[in-house]
Amino acid sequence: MCKSTFHSFLQELPKCEHHMHLEGSLSPEVLFTLAKRNNITLPQDDTAFQSPETLLARYDRFTSLDDFLHYYYIGMSVLISDSDFEDLAMDYFRHAAADGVAHAEV
């Protein structure tokens, strides 16, 4: 990670996030939590689903749009109820605030 003064300055600036798709912010931690709450079994034949950490590491290795969509649709399968979307939104807003986002269009 960059440790320059300019980088620190940019990190501290307030930010705006335009046209953000809430479903795209589903973190592995929230995915696993919602899967457990909704009694959804995640693919056991895919080692990426061993833990939130292994799934996050897999996100860095998408090889194609189809590869990305495979994991995206599995993630979407855990979003069932209004409270699931509420939890997802709160998780996004916590992370956005920590990143200095002052305005988000979700």
- Give tens-digit pLDDT for 16-47: 999 999 999 999 999 999 999 999 999 999 99
Task: Confirm if 104 and 20 have CB atoms less than 8 A apart.
Answer: yes
- Residue 78 carries which DSSP code? T
Cα separation, 69 vs 35, in Å, equals 18
Instruction: Locate 63 and state its tokens.
Output: 């090889």
Q: 56-94 pLDDT, tens per residue?
A: 999 999 999 999 999 999 999 999 999 999 999 999 999
Residue 1's pLDDT is: 59
d(CA 92, CA 83): 14
Half-sphere exposure of 41 (CA within 13 A, CB side): 4
